[in-house]
Structure 1
Amino acid sequence: MYLEHLTTFVNLAETLNFSKTAINLNMSQSSVSQAIASIEKQLGVSLFYRSRKAVSLTPAGRDFYDRIKPWLNEYNKSVQHVQQVQAQQQMNLTIGYSGTPYENTVIPQLVREFCKEHPQISVFLENYAHKELKEHLAHGNCDLIFTMPDIIDGNDNFKYSSLLVGYYCLIIPKESKALPTPVDLSALGQGRLIFSDHRWCPPTQDQLQKEISKSNPSLNLAYANNIATAHAMVKAHLGWGIWANFVSDPNDDDLVKLPLATNIIPDYGVAILKQGSPRAAKQFVSWLEKTGLPG
């Protein structure tokens, strides 16, 4: 199985569009089809459902993607690392994050500024759900993760550094009628709420969602399996969101954050390993503590 074919498969699994993958990889659409067909033939399974209007992953395709993508990332990092060692580059740093609107805006800015001050450090980024990020950090597949203390609780080899202490909010479209702040939990039954699935959201948010449910026995609820979906649903005026203030894009003027009347306080920062953490990760943490995060 050729490496180029696996790269083509991963790209197609993410675009779900043969034309876009052909453009992304600078190859013909027929070559994309041939690469996928070759993999499917070797595996003896179908990886994609195909129709004239849409392309989607089969269950086998989704499982193959989940397993191949981290391996391919590690392969590419290994190639770059070897090349950098040859060029006498000193350090690499892999940073993991969960892809909140806040992180998608702020982390590129932070990394750009950090690299200006530390050109000897090569930075890589990886985006996974909280559970995968914890596993990657624990197994040394990444060096530092943006996270919350309640998410990593229980791992004695994680060292957490707090960067922001925030507050939980009701997130509503700008055009909506605002509620008196701080918003009482019992007032949330007035609209449709969008909760995050407990398997995705931080434990403190899950605790808050349970308190809201107790305060409103007849809630109109919708569930989202990740923050991007919850964010999109609020943007589409499909309901009100519940998340910490540091989850929202600080430059987003379309949504309004209304503080909630709750004693549950969210905290946001970074975690590295207590034992075995590379020097580049410690340097990045020190730099963040001095620089701070946009509030």
Structure 2
Amino acid sequence: MDTRHMRFFMALAETLHFGRAAERMNMSQPPFSRQIAMIERTLGVKLFERNSRNVALTPAGKHFMEDCRNVLGQFEDACRDVRLVASGMKGELRFGFMMHAAHSVVPELVQLYAKARPDVRLVLDERTPTEIDEMLVAGTLDAAVTFDCGYAPHLQTVLLARERLRIIMREDHPLATVGQIYPEKLREEKVIAAPAATAPALRSAINSYFSAKGIVPHVVLEPRLQHTIIQLVAKGLGVALIPASLCTGMGTGLISRTLTDAPQLDVVLRVPMTTKNPAVSAFMEIGKSIQRTSL
């Protein structure tokens, strides 16, 4: 028994007429009748009562009709779903992003993709930039938003935005009254920054900003997460250079200031070149559509 035999049975069960059922199945009545007889022999059950005038379902036939309707419905759903998955209209997309991007490009990217592909399940995974790079290489992420760390031949890259760094400090900090901060004014400041092992592009930008003026930053704490850095600055443990998008909604007691010749980082969407996930292409196109020159 297969779905073809179920369709023979359903044609007769729904029409209760051998001629019309055979016509529905695009065949003549004699071979159709033989198919019905073969189904009953295979099951060892009488499904129809028939005489020269009428065809009726037996109790077993009525039960079998409901089961066949469910099975055929599930089969049709499976056929439709597999085509949708193959076209990228349904399935799953594992999307990683560095945590600060939740304050910039990620909400819009997710919103637009969810609208364009409502049947694709987005699995969101907040990670550090280094973790994102490792997961893209390992194939455990389908796409990710991170800082551009340079040429990566194994990845497709779409520039989403260029983001400048700002300096944050407590409102009672001596530099809080200064409108624009020069790097020389930070020579003696305690700096809180993510380690290079966690956010290499960000830490490199911070180090380069100081070294361009011959300054070695006095880094006193190296938390992995930007939100932790903000909380430590709020406790007066130092100042920090963070992405501009994180400076909104920091809470009371903190301010941000513009840096002279502020470092700028590229925020990019990356996808493995070897991806086999058809849901990724639309994600990349939406990424291209929200490109911004700066944040």
Correspondence for 2:140:
141
Contact preservation (8 Å) 2:147, 2:201: no
The aligned amino acid for 2:160 is L
SS at 1:282's partner residue?
helix
CA distance in 1, matches of 2:170, 2:249: 14
Residue in 2 aligned with 1:91?
Answer: 91
Return the offset for 1:228: 2.9
Q: Which residue of 2 aligns with 1:115?
A: 114
Unmatched runs of 5 consecutive residues or more in structure 1: 1-83
Gaps of 5+ in 2: 1-76
Q: Distance in 2 between matches of 1:124 and 1:113?
A: 15
**Separation (CA, whole Å) in 2 of partners of 1:274 and 1:127:** 22
In structure 2, C-alpha distance between the alignment counterparts of 1:220 and 1:142, rounded to whole Å: 32
The answer for the alignment partner of 2:152 in structure 1 is 155
What is the deviation of 1:156? Answer: 0.8
Q: Secondary structure at the match of 1:196?
A: coil
Letter in 2 for 1:120: D
Relative to structure 1, is the Cα distance of residues 94 and 217 closer, same or farther in structure 2, using a 3 angstrom cutoff? closer
Using the alignment, how far apart are the partners of 1:125 and 1:276 within structure 2?
18
Match of 1:166 in 2: 163
User: 1:259: Cα distance to partner?
Assistant: 2.6
> Counterpart of 1:235 in structure 2: which amino acid?
A
Higher mean alpha-carbon deviation, 137-146 vs 125-134, is at 125-134
Aligned residues: 208
CA distance in 1, matches of 2:276, 2:248: 31
**1:275 is the counterpart of 2:274:** yes
Partner of 1:194: 192
Could you give the per-residue CA deviations for residues 213-268 of structure 1, whole angstroms, max 9, x where no partner exists? 6744684733323323212212333221112224x154435443323234642111
User: Could you tell me which amino acid in structure 1 is paired with residue 93 of structure 2?
Assistant: L
State the alpha-carbon separation in 2 of the partners of residues 229 and 251 from structure 1. 14
For normalisation by structure 1, the TM-score amounts to: 0.59
Matches within 5 A, 1:142-291: 142-150=141-149, 153-176=150-173, 177-178=175-176, 180-209=178-207, 211-212=209-210, 215-216=214-215, 219=218, 221-246=220-245, 248=246, 250-252=248-250, 254=252, 255-262=254-261, 264-276=263-275, 278-291=277-290
Q: Aligned AA for 1:199?
A: A
Quickly say closer, same or farther: Cα 1:190–1:229, change in 2 above 3 A.
same
For 1:284 and 1:115, the matched residues in 2 are separated by: 10
Residues 159 and 291, structure 2, Cα contact 8 Å, conserved in 1: no
Q: Select the structure of larger CA radius of gyration.
A: 2
In 2, the alpha carbon distance for the partners of 1:269 and 1:240 equals: 27
Distance 1:265 1:105, change over 3 A: closer
Q: How high is the TM-score relative to the length of structure 2?
A: 0.59
Look up the SS of the partner of 2:187 in the other structure: helix
Identity of aligned residues (%): 15
